[in-house]
Amino acid sequence: MEQLADKFAKSAKRLLLLDYDGTLSPLVAQPEQAGPTPRLLSLLTKLADQDNTYIYVISGRDRTSLGDWLGHLPIGMSCEHGLFFRPYTRGGVGEWQDIISTLDTAWKADIRALFKDFTDRTPGSMIESKEVNLTWHYRNADPDFGEYQKKELLMHLQDLPGMPIDILPGKKAVEVRPQGINKGSVVRRIMGLHKDVDFAVCMGDDKTDEDMFVELDNCEFENHFTVMVDKKPTTANLYVEDQDTVITLLQMFAERQ
């Protein structure tokens, strides 16, 4: 971490690409309980106030929640794995942009009905309905039964014919989103807006963040680092121990501006 913080301090223009749940905020039993701590808000504010630092929070979260929690900060944001995007440059925060009009979302009724069936049969589980994506959570269900039901649900989803969807098994959750929408496309878009950066760090904690890591690795400049939270199979080139360590690293960045 010390070496990464030193590189951050020595760079001319920096870019931080940050997942939210499990990275900036710990995973919690109820999605609405994951609001940012005062410490996180203070760190993001301090970093964003640096003239040569750009921050983007790239999340699977819905934009209402992320906007309520972080919308007042001078940072860029992306929600629902790239369906919604709010750019940020030194000219200020841009308007929310979306690609909903280009999507076929007729699948939602069938997926919602399937999720409801599994929710009814899995005490402690719940459906999170975003503007487009749907997620079935089982963090509060019996752990063994929840895992069994997850496998059953995935089998049902994979057997659905011809639906334009991607299926995302996550941590105690299964998410369904429009096909071909992912966080990698967001990173590509951001790099197009900030072509003058000479240092970038991308941090995430699960499979949905691998698309970000791969896209950043495909960029043309060498001085970038991809970071996985918690040691697990990944394409990232660095690990940090846990979510608390992410906050410690951001603190080091803020202190070595």
Using CA atoms, how far residue 1 sits from 25, 225, 240, 241, in Å, is 19, 11, 8, 11
With CA atoms as reference, report the closest residue to 211 among 60, 108, 76, 90: 60
CA distance 146 to 26: 21
Q: Which of 19, 21, 209, 211 is catalytic?
A: 19
CA distance 8 to 55: 13
User: Is 19 marked active-site?
Assistant: yes
CA distance 51 to 14: 10
CA angle (27, 160, 136) in 5-degree steps? 20
Q: Do the Cβ atoms of 47 and 81 come closer than 8 Å?
A: no
- Neighbouring-strand partners of residue 128: 135
Alpha-helical runs (H) found in the chain: 2-10, 38-48, 63-70, 108-121, 143-158, 183-193, 210-217, 243-255
Q: Show Cβ contacts of residue 7 under 8 Å, excluding neighbours closer than 6 positions.
A: 199, 223, 225
The length of the chain, given as a count of residues: 257
CA distance 86 to 79: 9
Which residues are known catalytic residues? 19
